[in-house]
A = this chain, B = another copy of it.
Amino acid sequence: MRALVYQGPYEVAVQDVEDPAIQDPSDVIVRITTSAICGSDLHMYEGRTDAEPGITFGHENMGVIEEVGPGVTSLSKGDRVVLPFNVACGFCTNCRRGKSAFCLTVNDPGTAGGAYGYVGMGPYPGGQAEYLRVPFADYNCVPLPAGTEHESDFALLADIFPTGYHGVELSGMQPGDTIAVYGAGPVGQMAAYSALLRGASRVFVVDHVSHRLDIARDIGAEPINFDDGDPAQQITEALGDYGTDRGVDAVGYQATVSSGEEQPAVVLNQLVDTVRHTGGIGVVGLYLPSDPGAPDEHSAKGELLYRIGRFFEKGQTMGTGQADAKRYAHQLRDMIIEGRAEPSFVVSKDIPLSQAPDAYARFDKREDGYSKVLLHPGMD
């Protein structure tokens, strides 16, 4: 089959690879109809990870079941499904509690969590390909209505919609709360959108890319451009109050300031200032225990100067980590089916799989129109 394969830094190619096959009784094979390119794919693309050439990328996958293992109970050939990016077993300590992003079964001992097509996340090829093997399929497949309706919305259930939602959940948001979302990329947009769906009274979105801030305004949030001054101060003034009830970090360790300089802790520390006493912070932007390309020796080990004194004084809470996408995917799916949610407003382009290498290059340069690309193997 055709698949997008990593060749080395800044190089991916669509090439022939072996078809996936049923390996375990609980597997299914899915024919991919849509697989999205994710910002976190760029970490590998740019060579800032340990990814070796040969990996098939793609952890935001959906499609139609092509083949079913003998141990699968609830699925049949022809079923349309979306696959939360976390490969998980469903029965370990963490899965049982809904923490499927930290499955203790699907990766090496001492680690937690698996994913399709991602370095360090277990031996699971990605779905930017014609077919995908899905282990523990009864648990890992989220069933969808047959047909092609809502394809772009459903595709976002694999990662960014649940990830944005998870950021809001980690912050402890309640209806009526005010909330600040740092980062207006696809995940930040999904966080802001989730906050609105859950009844936030005011949602601030912080970035400095104006067309991203325009999208935030369009969905009902209030844009804050950090090129115009300290975002925490701008938000506090807009509020006329001590700070927002909640905050979400949808940026992570590659945070930059107006000058373009990378300052890994800047968003975390701005959130401490932005959120009021007793408020909560949800972190879904990525932080790593090891980053060879970091601006200094401590950041390289994932140690950042965090304003813990002020954080403690304010009695804030912080929840972190990769989203348990499976935990939210069903309820968000139902909101899409009923027309309550339409997250596909963040999708910028639909292209055939064959055009993926070009799309990676343009996305990496932040070209307009490539912020959220959906690949469709069937369009070739």
Q: Which residues of A contact B (CB under 8 A)?
A: 24-26, 69-71, 73-74, 89-94, 96-99, 101-102, 104-105, 110, 112-113, 138-139, 170, 174-178, 197-202, 242, 253, 265, 268-269, 277-278, 283, 286-291, 298, 301-322, 326-327, 330-332, 334-335, 337-338, 340
A313 near B289 (CB under 8 angstroms)? yes
Chain B nearest Cβ from A350, distance in angstroms: 26
Could you list 13 further interchain pairs (A-B, Cβ under 8 angstroms) beyond the known A91-B138, A306-B306, A317-B318? A25-B26, A89-B138, A96-B330, A98-B98, A110-B242, A112-B278, A175-B331, A199-B199, A268-B308, A304-B306, A312-B320, A313-B321, A315-B320
B320 near A311 (CB under 8 angstroms)? yes
B278 near A25 (CB under 8 angstroms)? no
A291: B residues at CB distance < 8 A? 309
Cα separation A338 to B93 with both chains bound (whole Å): 18
Chain B nearest Cβ from A313, distance in angstroms: 5
From DSSP, what is the main secondary structure of chain A's interface residues?
loop
* Selected A-B contacts with CB under 8 Å, 22 pairs: A25-B25, A74-B92, A91-B138, A94-B278, A96-B98, A96-B327, A110-B242, A112-B242, A170-B317, A174-B331, A175-B331, A176-B332, A176-B335, A199-B340, A201-B331, A287-B309, A289-B307, A289-B313, A298-B305, A302-B307, A304-B308, A318-B318
| CB nearest neighbor in B for A100 | B96
A69: B residues at CB distance < 8 A? 71
Cα separation A177 to B340 with both chains bound (whole Å): 11
A307 near B315 (CB under 8 angstroms)? no
A175: B residues at CB distance < 8 A? 197-198, 331, 335
A265: B residues at CB distance < 8 A? 308
B287 near A25 (CB under 8 angstroms)? no
Cα separation A322 to B170 with both chains bound (whole Å): 21
A303: B residues at CB distance < 8 A? 269, 305-309
Cα separation A253 to B93 with both chains bound (whole Å): 33
A335 near B112 (CB under 8 angstroms)? no
A322: B residues at CB distance < 8 A? 315
A242: B residues at CB distance < 8 A? 104, 110, 112
A321 near B331 (CB under 8 angstroms)? no
Cα separation A24 to B288 with both chains bound (whole Å): 42
B138 near A278 (CB under 8 angstroms)? no
A305: B residues at CB distance < 8 A? 298, 303-306
B302 near A308 (CB under 8 angstroms)? yes
Q: Which of B71, B309, B315 makes the CB contact (< 8 A) with A26?
A: B71
B278 near A99 (CB under 8 angstroms)? yes
Cα separation A305 to B264 with both chains bound (whole Å): 12
Q: Which of B24, B102, B309, B312 makes the CB contact (< 8 A) with A315?
A: B102
Chain B nearest Cβ from A170, distance in angstroms: 8
Chain B nearest Cβ from A172, distance in angstroms: 10
Cα separation A17 to B170 with both chains bound (whole Å): 50
Cα separation A161 to B155 with both chains bound (whole Å): 37
Chain B nearest Cβ from A294, distance in angstroms: 10
